[in-house]
Amino acid sequence: MEEKLIWKGHPSQWINFGTYVLCFLFCWLIIPIFIAIWKYLLVRTWTIEITDQRIIEGKGIFSKTTDELELFRVKDLRLEEPFLLRLVGLSNILMNTSDRTHPVYLIPAVRNGGSVREELRVAIDARREKKQVRETDFE
Confidence class of residue 132 from pLDDT cuts 50, 70 and 90?
A: confident
What is the per-residue DSSP string for the chain?
Answer: -PPPEEEEE---GGGGHHHHHHHHHTGGGSHHHHHHHHHHHHHHT-EEEEESSEEEEEE-SSS-EEEEEEGGGEEEEEEE--HHHHHTTEEEEEEEES-SS-SEEEEEEEETHHHHHHHHHHHHHHHHHHHT-------
Res. 137: pLDDT tops 70: no
What domains are there in the chain, each with its CATH number? 5-131 (2.30.29)
Pairing status of strand 5-9 against strand 47-51: antiparallel
Res. 38: pLDDT tops 90: yes
Mean per-residue pLDDT for 121-127? 92
Render pLDDT for 59-79 as a digit per residue (tens, 0 to 9).
999 999 999 999 999 999 999
Number of Cα atoms under 13 Å in the Cβ half of residue 125: 6
Mean per-residue pLDDT for 12-37? 88
pTM of the model: 0.86
